[in-house]
Structure 1
Amino acid sequence: MPRRKATRELHCGINGIKVGTVRRKSGTFEFIYDDEWLGAEYAHSISLSLPMTSKRHTGERVRYFFDNLLPDNEEVRQQIVDRIGAYSTDTMDLLSAIGRDCVGALSLSLTEIPPEPSMQMNPVDENEINEILNHAVTGHTLGMGDDDTFRISIAGAQEKTALTYHRGQWHQPIGNTPTTHIFKMAMGELPSGINMEQSVDNEWFCLRFMHHLGFDVAHAEIEVFGEQKVLVVERFDRHTDEDGQILRISQEDMCQALGRAGQSKYEDKGGPGAFEISDLLATSQQGLKDQQVFFLSQYVFWLLCAIDGHAKNFSVYLDASGYWLTPIYDVLSAYPTLGKIQPKKAKMAMRVKSKNSHYHWHKILPRHWPNHAKFSGLSPDIAQELIGAINEELQGALDKTWADAPDHFHRETGEQITKGVLDLARKKLLI
């Protein structure tokens, strides 16, 4: 496929309406909102870090926001250059090639944003989905082929692709047609030697467990297409209206909202921590509720030994009325891997603060959490009550999760997570 020219300008739209323009001038990124968008009653900022104004936004916050729309994996980025025809791995060049369907509501285009056309898509059967998944694994291009019909950008490091489920049938979308579900393949063996072959089962179990604890989580199911076992995750940034039109919903992750680079998503690498995120959520549409949900998610991540809960794994919705926390997503337990890594080396993505700061999972104690809540702007007493309610539901939530497990669920993975949660709870006298 012929290589594109270097990209200096991209038009940004939401559901066929122009929002603004992002440009790169002499290496500096700038974004300016469209005047008509600024005057619309439904208008909202594309990011909390880029508030609506007639003035030009410039600098690193602009670059960080748009770069965070892209896959984290450098190999995937290079494959987009090699196989899709992007000019380079530069943010603008990559988004010009695959920015039609991003996380959240934005669509990026080299040309002016046209009105949203009628949806175009090709139906695909189980065998064709298997081929798409195989290509996503072997080609490292999110399931995209050499033609120009299917272009998506999904952030994250894991191999995945996305399809559209419409009127009872799976489809591969064409052009600007939104995807509705993300297909996540097994992560396999990591460069560190840790085996994550059962990551599909692991994530399903963690999400379903948190659902039964009362959290709003991304809906996910384990499906098998040919030889590929995948986690099919329903996109919570998509909505199908009464006419069957699929609409994009604005959302951004915490790195975007707080103006940070995706490469700094871990707190000990300079990324946002629990207190900074809690401060942001304090002024959300759901204020205290969002803060409490976020705090409790940190606690449950500790119970699950879910050590990858970094800032890109928390997001907020955006609309004209404000912003609020999205469902929980991307949760993986390290319990099945503790044979490969020493428990004492397991570090949480965000510190838990009491008298001292604690990153190491094994050093975190029940008495640290009320103080952590205080530093997060919450009442320690109420936090203790909320934690107590979670502890009372642990066994019941695990039982319900097992009752939901499909026939092709990898039981050993579930057993390892179950044992890990209950052993920690008993050791720390939580139950």
Structure 2
Amino acid sequence: MMALDVYIEGHHAGQMTRSASDTVVFTYLAAYAASGERTPLSLSMPKRTAEHAGVVPQRWIENLLPENEDARVAIASKFDVRATDAYSLLHHIGLDVAGAVQFVPEGQPIERPGELIPWSDKHIAAEIDRLHANPADVDLDSEIGRWSLAGQHGKFALSRVGERWVEPTGTQPSTHIFKVGMNHREHSDVAEFVTMRAAKIMGLSVPGVDLLNFDGRLVVAVERYDRTTSEDAVVRLHQEDFCQALGIGSAQKYESDGGPSMRAVEALLRANVSPAQRERSIAEFARLQAFNMVVANTDAHGKNGSLLMRGPQVRLAPAYDLISAALVWSPKSVWFKGKMAMKFGGDYRLRRLDARTTAKAADDLGVDPEGYSAAVSDFASRVGPALDEALGAAAVAGVDPAVVESLRSRAQEWGERVDGVCGAAQPGAAAELAVVRRRASARLATAMPPARKPETKTERVCNAYIARTRSRCVLPEGHPGSPSKGHRSGR
């Protein structure tokens, strides 16, 4: 298959190829790699090494695409191809992916003429209906299939121009992601909106989020933090999620599956974030983990956290994909049975939240234990009122009053529970969180998994289809436990 030219922030950065043995290779252009002002494709593929081959580039591009295999099949069908792997699909949908990277078939121009196609409320409502009916569906009559949004759930991207919603074509970027919620969990879209708004109320950095109504259909619209407006033009900002930065595949996004831990992410931040932003990013990540714990955001895995990069500068991205399990399930069940995506103080279980686990979490996160204990207590006392305030915004947006009251009852029950366990005597009085000073290199050595053997160009990935996650295995071919229960032959 034809090679892919890789552009970052509009600059030709390198080329991606796939060998006869199916090894994906990314090679930086010499001039791009030599420039200190150019942004790397990934922290897992630094510019100091010209060529990166094997599972790391393979995993990185797989993380750009939907994890849902049905969604990949739908995209492949749109372009009349059979292959559903990332390398093949990026030949067709590589123009508007996450971050500032763009992929085009070798030799093709990156600048392509396009237009902004207006979408009416009726059109958007139809798209919402289609994705509710089948989250993996792709509109075969629209260019909407030309972009890639990672994840498992139904979503689509549009741009906001004045008071209109438009579909960008050519190489023009989208500005908002529309999320329709999980079909198997009623009102999960409202729960996500409420959780995101509560995070903002409590002082966390989150993108703008609205709950919009199109012909009676509600949808969550999230501003893309990897897009900004400059002189009336939309500009792409480069980003990657924690899994990509650590060279981990999407099938291993949960810590229990070998994915990132809080300790590993803190080490990643300490080693790579720019000095001027380092302490702020570490403290913000620690505060986010406190919020995740007290709000029961049980799906805060390694793909639901990212870094923003520009040249040599790196910082923590705003928080996204926040959703309180206590608004979706019974608060009592969530407390006694709920487990976090990353261990908090050495334990996944929510009900283990106490002074001991908080102190251990502070050590993992590289922050002052006393200050972190105060921050967790403060958040525990404030989360209930914050959820209640956010539910008020949901009511204004047009959510059925009965739904609002049902969620308000859950929010109150949950807030009272966590406040009773570890709430602060004086909410809002917690001091600024102090970051502990220590060496980043030693931190990385203990936080990261054992180093793999050096990759070679002949290394192949397993590529078996995993029905449980609806994704393909990106571990090396013949990895321990392969073939194992849950694998079946690729298709």
TM-score, shorter chain, exceeding 0.5: yes
The AA in structure 2 aligned to 1:300 is: F
Taking only the aligned residue pairs, the percentage that are identical comes to: 27
Shift in alpha-carbon separation, 1:99–1:115, aligned structure 2, 3 A: closer
Aligned counterpart for 2:239 among listed residues 229, 248, 251: 251
Corresponding residue for 2:314?
323
Aligned counterpart for 1:288 among listed residues 256, 270, 279: 279
Deviation at 1:370, TM superposition (A): 1.9
Per-residue CA shift, 1:129-188, capped at 9, x if unaligned?
222333444464565424557511001111010111123321111122111100000211
Residue correspondence of structure 1 range 189-228 to structure 2 within 5 A:
189=184, 196-228=185-217
Corresponding residue for 2:420?
426
CA contact (8 A) 1:21 1:32 kept: yes
Which region of structure 1 is more displaced relative to structure 2, 325-334 or 146-155? 146-155
Q: Matches of 1:11 and 1:331 in 2, distance apart?
A: 34
The AA in structure 1 aligned to 2:158 is: L
Residue correspondence of structure 1 range 232-311 to structure 2 within 5 A:
232-242=221-231, 244-283=232-271, 284-285=273-274, 286-311=277-302
Aligned counterpart for 1:59 among listed residues 54, 57, 82: 54
Aligned counterpart for 1:11 among listed residues 5, 9, 17: 5
Per-residue CA shift, 1:26-79, capped at 9, x if unaligned?
211110112342344530111100101362111111101111000111211122
The AA in structure 2 aligned to 1:416 is: R
Give the SS at the match of 1:216.
Answer: coil
CA contact (8 A) 1:133 1:143 kept: no
Corresponding residue for 1:350?
342
Per-residue CA shift, 1:318-367, capped at 9, x if unaligned?
111321101110011111343499443321100122xxx21122223243
Corresponding residue for 1:373?
362
Q: Matches of 1:330 and 1:187 in 2, distance apart?
A: 12
Q: Matches of 1:228 and 1:42 in 2, distance apart?
A: 45
Aligned counterpart for 1:338 among listed residues 308, 326, 329: 329
Corresponding residue for 1:192?
none
Deviation at 1:408, TM superposition (A): 1.6
Corresponding residue for 2:69?
74
Q: Matches of 2:253 and 2:244 in 1, distance apart?
A: 10
Gaps of 5+ in 2: 426-491
Give the SS at the match of 2:207.
Answer: coil
Residue 102, structure 1, aligned to residue 68, structure 2: no
Q: Matches of 1:15 and 1:321 in 2, distance apart?
A: 13
Q: Matches of 1:310 and 1:219 in 2, distance apart?
A: 21
Deviation at 1:12, TM superposition (A): 1.3
Cα RMSD of the aligned pairs, angstroms, is 2.3
CA contact (8 A) 1:122 1:172 kept: yes
Shift in alpha-carbon separation, 1:345–1:338, aligned structure 2, 3 A: same
The TM-score normalised by the length of structure 1 is 0.89
Corresponding residue for 1:30?
25
Shift in alpha-carbon separation, 1:99–1:67, aligned structure 2, 3 A: same
Deviation at 1:291, TM superposition (A): 1.4
Residue 384, structure 1, aligned to residue 379, structure 2: no
Which region of structure 1 is more displaced relative to structure 2, 23-32 or 87-96? 87-96
The AA in structure 2 aligned to 1:12 is: V
Give the SS at the match of 2:44.
Answer: coil
Q: Matches of 2:195 and 2:332 in 1, distance apart?
A: 20
Aligned counterpart for 1:361 among listed residues 324, 341, 350: 350
Shift in alpha-carbon separation, 1:365–1:8, aligned structure 2, 3 A: farther
Residue correspondence of structure 1 range 123-202 to structure 2 within 5 A:
123-138=118-133, 140-141=135-136, 143-146=138-141, 151-189=146-184, 196-202=185-191
Residue 230, structure 1, aligned to residue 219, structure 2: yes
Deviation at 1:416, TM superposition (A): 1.3
Gaps of 5+ in 1: 1-6, 190-195
Shift in alpha-carbon separation, 1:36–1:115, aligned structure 2, 3 A: farther
Give the SS at the match of 2:362.
Answer: helix
Give the SS at the match of 2:140.
Answer: coil
Q: Matches of 1:400 and 1:218 in 2, distance apart?
A: 18
Shift in alpha-carbon separation, 1:414–1:40, aligned structure 2, 3 A: farther
Aligned counterpart for 1:86 among listed residues 77, 81, 87: 81
The AA in structure 2 aligned to 1:420 is: W
Give the SS at the match of 1:312.
Answer: coil
The AA in structure 2 aligned to 1:170 is: W
Q: Matches of 1:111 and 1:329 in 2, distance apart?
A: 34
Which region of structure 1 is more displaced relative to structure 2, 291-300 or 265-274? 291-300
Deviation at 1:392, TM superposition (A): 5.4
The AA in structure 2 aligned to 1:319 is: R
Deviation at 1:274, TM superposition (A): 0.5
Which region of structure 1 is more displaced relative to structure 2, 251-260 or 34-43? 34-43
- Number of aligned residue pairs: give it: 415
Q: Matches of 2:110 and 2:143 in 1, distance apart?
A: 20
Corresponding residue for 2:451?
none
Give the SS at the match of 2:77.
Answer: helix
Per-residue CA shift, 1:365-413, capped at 9, x if unaligned?
2431122111322221222233344345445534542443324234122
The AA in structure 1 aligned to 2:251 is: Q
Per-residue CA shift, 1:180-219, capped at 9, x if unaligned?
1000002111xxxxxx121111011111111011001121
CA contact (8 A) 2:17 2:26 kept: yes
Shift in alpha-carbon separation, 1:335–1:277, aligned structure 2, 3 A: same
